[in-house]
Amino acid sequence: MDLSHLTIAVVGGDEREQEIARLAAATGARVTAYGFPWPEDGIPGVTRANSPREALDGADYALFPIPGQAEDGTLFAPESPAPITPDLDTLSGMRRGGAIVLGWANPALQEVAAELGLAISEYEWDVELMLLRAPAIVEGALQAAIAHTRVTLHNSDVLVVGHGNIGRIFARTLVLLGARVHLAARNPVQRADALAAGCIPVPLESIRDVVPRVSMLFSTVPAAVVDAETLALLPPKSLVMDLSAPPGGIDLDAARALGHTAVWARGLGRRAPITVGASQWSGISRRIQELEGAR
């Protein structure tokens, strides 16, 4: 794939963006970068900018992280020297007719993009891409669960809320590790699929009947589904982990106030940045090709 006629800015993210920037540069594109951990020996063909605005000036494409935006609109960039907000000033130097590729965009970013004549391509809901990166996310979730508990997953009762791409694979992995997995989903077909995989299906509206029996609760739903009243029914000092994108599915502040171990496990793909970065680039490059073909 030859993208030598394009300028691509990679802004925000973590170690995965190192691989994305490297692969983008390998296409011949001019690549600028800001806001993710920078390797000591640099990245061949990639120019490190001093600010988001500098990285984005003249860019045909802005590549933002897949975890999307926080509630305040800032990009996922845990090691950036300052928060990165894709506002009008930051994006105004991009070329008209360009595009922003990211996990998901909030309404404010959508409005700014429309004002500047920029397209937005979201890939948070790209099933193929999510399945490609799911193993790394599941491995990261298991690593976090083991680090934050004093019991084994094996022979433990756990609740997984949500049966999307990540929830489905995560639940099946927990079953294989010997956990008794209660799977909460609104869709009866999803519950049937969970049953076939060895889970104990639960209607989403019935999770309060289950939580008193579990020692770990995992949510993969990016909407408020686990509230303070539900968390109060958990056994003392349970593990509560939110695997979803902002705004999240669990009231983590309430969980902490109740004495539970509360973890928002964002950015789990950085556990295997080369593998996940390559899978993300496969989805990003496909979108760039589609957008270029539509010009």
Q: Helices (H), strands (E): how many in the chain?
A: 10, 12
Residue 112's closest CA among 86, 93, 73? Answer: 86
Instruction: Mark whether 167 and 195 lie in a shared domain.
Output: yes
Query: What is the reported pLDDT for 133?
Result: 83
Query: What is the reported pLDDT for 88?
Result: 96
Higher pLDDT: 194 or 268? It is 194
Segment 161-180 mean pLDDT: 96
Model confidence, pTM: 0.77
Q: How many Cβ atoms are within 10 Å of 224's Cβ, its own excluded?
A: 12
Residue 57's closest CA among 94, 25, 89, 85? Answer: 94
Segment 254-260 mean pLDDT: 97
Mean pLDDT of the chain: 93
* 250 lies in some domain: yes
Query: What is the reported pLDDT for 223?
Result: 86
* Strand segments (E) across 22-83: 30-34, 46-48, 61-63
Task: Determine phi and psi for 225, rounding to 5 degrees.
Answer: -125, -15
The two structure tokens encoding residue 40? 């000591």
| CA atoms of 128 and 279, how far apart (whole Å) | 10
**pLDDT over 90 at 181, yes or no:** yes
* Strand segments (E) across the chain: 7-11, 30-34, 46-48, 61-63, 99-102, 119-122, 157-161, 180-185, 200-203, 216-219, 239-242, 261-264
Segment 48-72 mean pLDDT: 93
Instruction: Mark whether 259 and 276 lie in a shared domain.
Output: no
Task: Determine phi and psi for 108, rounding to 5 degrees.
Answer: -65, -45
Instruction: Mark whether 55 and 112 lie in a shared domain.
Output: yes
Written as one string, the DSSP assignment of 254-277 is: HHHHTT-EEEE---GGGGSHHHHH
* 123 lies in some domain: yes
> Structurally, how many domains does the chain consist of?
2
The domain in which residue 72 lies consists of 7-127+272-293
Instruction: Mark whether 158 and 200 lie in a shared domain.
Output: yes
**pLDDT over 90 at 71, yes or no:** no
**pLDDT over 80 at 33, yes or no:** yes
Instruction: Mark whether 242 and 279 lie in a shared domain.
Output: no
Residue 234's closest CA among 243, 226, 242? Answer: 226
Q: What is the CATH number of the domain that holds 251?
A: 3.40.50.720
Query: What is the reported pLDDT for 92?
Result: 97
Instruction: Mark whether 162 and 258 lie in a shared domain.
Output: yes
**pLDDT over 80 at 202, yes or no:** yes
